[in-house]
Structure 1
Amino acid sequence: MKKIAVFGKPGSGKSTLSKTLAESAGVPFYPLDSMVYNADGSLVERAAFDAQHENILQSEAWLIDGLGPLASFQQRLQAADTLVYIDLPYWLSYWLVTKRLLKGLFITPEGWPPGSSIVKGSLQSYKMLRLSPRFWNSDFSQKLTALGDSKNLHVIRTLSELNQFVAQIKL
């Protein structure tokens, strides 16, 4: 496990899992939100993001969590040796985004870009959740299953499975 892509819907626990997994595997952790967004919440210039993303993919070891631009996501899926897809039910994802929003009013959520607005970011997460069925669907699942033939694939569908996965990593 040297090149790891962690992905799933907003609020699914990607950042928390990724931090633990990166430490356990001894690989550098690159939170995608910190690569895509500036501290003020504006988007990083696409050319700058693409260059940084490509440099990371060419390195010996990495863990990148998140989706980001679709072309870069596809590149990550191809370059990774390990794929971790957190596929929690939609109702649970909405609840976790809401929980993060409420908690974020007092402390910065795990993996949240420093200085960015928790309210603005949460509204973006709700928007992404509303649009997610267009992407996180059976076609994507079939493509992911096919990729799993040549990669280490983990699909996590419940909070219990997520907690078990994290507990295994810490061993």
Structure 2
Amino acid sequence: MKKVAVFGNTGGGKSTLSIRLSEITGLPLHVLDKIQYRAGGAPVSPEEFKRAHETILAEDRWIIDGYGSPDTLWPRLSMADSLVYVDLPLRVHFWWVTKRFVTGRLNPPEGWPKDSPILKSSLSSYRVLWLCHKHLTPKYREYVKEARYTKNVYHLQSIDQISKFFKSVERAKFEDGA
């Protein structure tokens, strides 16, 4: 596990998962929302984002958390040796977006740029939930189904599977003597 892409619908806990995975593996973490948006939530230009993304992809080791854009997503998944696809039931994603909205004023969400507008970002997340579920989720599922022959694929479909995933990563690190 040297190049890890963490992806899935909004509100699935990808950032929290990515932070913990980085802590366990020692791989450098790159959160796309923090690269794509400035503090306060203003977007960077698409060109600036794409350049930063390409620089990360050229590194030998990384964890990349998030979606980015259609023209950066598929090359990133292709270059990754390990795919972590968070594919929880839609109701869980919806609940976690709601939870993030309610608690976000006191505890800014992990993986979000500093001073991100919680209300605006949460409303955007609610819109993205269904669109991603309808359009991207079927493509993601097909992609990981095929990629399992050439990559390490972790298709996490429940909170229990996320917990077991961490245990397996910790065990592998221990067995490798790292």
TM range (shorter): over 0.9
How far apart, CA to CA, are the structure 1 residues paired with 2:169 and 2:103? 25
Q: Which runs of 5+ in 2 are unaligned?
A: 172-178
Q: Counterpart in 2 of 1:24?
A: 24
2:90 maps to 1:54: no
The ranges of structure 1 where at least 4 consecutive aligned residues each deviate by more than 3 angstroms after the TM superposition are 167-171
Offset of residue 115 of structure 1: 1.1
Offset of residue 91 of structure 1: 0.9
How far apart, CA to CA, are the structure 2 residues paired with 1:50 and 1:19? 22
1:1-171 correspondence to structure 2 within 5 Å: 1-132=1-132, 133-137=134-138, 139-171=139-171
- Matched to 2:111, the amino acid is G
How far apart, CA to CA, are the structure 1 residues paired with 2:165 and 2:118? 27
CA contact (8 A) 1:20 1:170 kept: no
How far apart, CA to CA, are the structure 1 residues paired with 2:150 and 2:116? 38
Per-residue deviation, residues 129-158 of structure 1 (Å, max 9, x unmatched): 021111111x43222211221110000001
CA contact (8 A) 1:89 1:157 kept: yes
Per-residue deviation, residues 30-83 of structure 1 (Å, max 9, x unmatched): 011101111121211111111110010011101001111011010111110000
SS of 1:5's partner is strand
Over aligned residues, Cα RMSD in angstroms? 1.3
How far apart, CA to CA, are the structure 2 residues paired with 1:82 and 1:64? 11
Q: Counterpart in 1 of 2:175?
A: none
Question: Sequence identity of aligned pairs in percent?
Answer: 39
SS of 2:33's partner is helix
Offset of residue 170 of structure 1: 4.3
- Matched to 1:166, the amino acid is F
CA contact (8 A) 1:20 1:169 kept: no
Q: TM-score, normalised by structure 2?
A: 0.91
